[in-house]
Amino acid sequence: MKKITLIICCTFLCAFGTFAKGGEDSAVKEMIRQEKLIDSVENALKWETNSVTIANGIAKINLSKGFKFLNAEQSKYILHDLWGNPPKPDVLGMIFPASGGPYADSSFAFIVTYEEEGFVKDDDADKINYDDMLAEMKKGEADVNKERAKSGYEPIYVIGWAAKPYYDKNNKVLHWAKEFKFGTADYNTLNYEVRVLGRKGVLSLNAVATMAELPLVKASIDDVLKMPGFTEGNKYSDFNSSTDKVAEYGIGALVAGGILAKTGAFAVIGKFLLAGWKFIAIGAVAAFGAVKRFITGSRKEEDAV
């Protein structure tokens, strides 16, 4: 568990410092401090189960057995204060496996967000060649990574589909997974994304983990896909062509780059993705560097909520 790993690391570092300085043994004190910090965070979290309404009543999460939910306030605390991501006011919550948590090892979390950009038409769903789309994403990598290097960022490479995009036309649910590589990291990054289409926008869930967690995510994905949905009056079938706004993009653009696809420039979308940004759990956007902190277990030592 990350909790145990963190304590061991702290103990080792403090023990080394104590040995070098010949001072009192602060290793045990530091270990206790770290353990108390982690316990205080875990004990303060208020988990929800069963059904949770989000987005001011527009959507809901019907949690399957074996999953739990954290509300927006607690999720923002975890993402920003504990995991070091930039503040994201649009985060609506996080879905964890029942055994998971902010310090759990070999786990994952789906971050939930909602974008009200209009009714997304799905008539292009059967016409998309996702292999060609992937090739387009890779085309601009060299140029984009040169710009990243100028700004002091490591390169990012799209390795391929970890799970090829699939659109369930009956339930209006789109999901896919990409495999990325950060610089010379000895592991690859998994980004598993889910989009649920509604009358006025898109509900998004996004899980970020290492590729080692792919079997774990895949084993849970069928349950995850059933959980998010829209309330009566806000469903895809409730669309009113006379009054409702239509989004400027379709299914393919959601996979290629989401909201930015409304510019109509695929190259721009690709550069946006490769330049270091991504959609995190239902439409939320976070820096790739911050995502990497999540994967490597880096945490800020802030006071517990």
Q: 70-112, pLDDT tens digit by residue?
A: 999 999 999 988 888 778 889 999 999 999 988 887 788 999 9
Same domain as 178, residue 286: yes
Is the pLDDT assigned to residue 204 strictly greater than 60? Answer: yes
174 pLDDT above the threshold of 80 = yes
pLDDT tens-digit readout, 130-160: 999 999 888 888 888 898 899 888 898 989 9
Q: What mean pLDDT is reported for the chain?
A: 79
Q: Assess whether 28 and 75 both reside in one domain.
A: no
33, 114: one domain: no
Looking at residues 266-280, what average pLDDT do you find?
A: 28
CATH of the domain at 246: 2.60.120.1690
Shared domain for 184 and 133, answered yes or no, is yes
Q: Which positions ≥6 away from 25 have C-beta within 8 Å?
A: 15, 18
Report how far apart the first and last C-alpha atoms of the chain are (Å, whole number): 21
Instruction: Give domain status of residue 81, yes or no.
Output: yes
State the residue range of the domain holding 23: 1-44
pLDDT category at 202 given cuts 50, 70, 90 is very high
**96 bridge partner residues:** 68
Percent of the chain with pLDDT over 90: 50
User: What per-residue confidence (pLDDT) applies to 107?
Assistant: 81
Task: Give the number of domains in the chain.
Answer: 2
Q: Which of 198, 195, 197, 200 is nearest to 246 (CA)?
A: 200
Q: What is the pLDDT of residues 40-64, one digit of tens each?
A: 888 899 999 999 999 999 999 999 9
**133, 134, 168, 251, 267 from 125: Cα distances, Å:** 13, 16, 9, 6, 20
Task: Locate 248 and state its tokens.
Answer: 């400027």
Same domain, 66 and 40: no
Of 19-33, 121-135, 222-236, 284-298, which range is least confident? 284-298
pLDDT band, very low/low/confident/very high, at 21 (cuts 50, 70, 90)? low
Classify 184 as helix, strand or coil.
coil
**Is the per-residue pLDDT at 257 higher than 80?**
no
Find the Cα–Cα–Cα–Cα dihedral 65, 67, 73, 77, rounded to 10°: 160
Residues 74, 21 share a domain: no
The identity of residue 23, as a single letter, is: G
Distance, in Å, from the CA atom of 295 to the CA atom of 291, rounded to the nearest integer, reads 6
CA–CA distances in Å: residue 131 to residues 70, 110, 136, 161? 36, 26, 9, 9
CB distance 48 to 71 below 8 Å: yes
Same structural domain, 121 and 225? yes
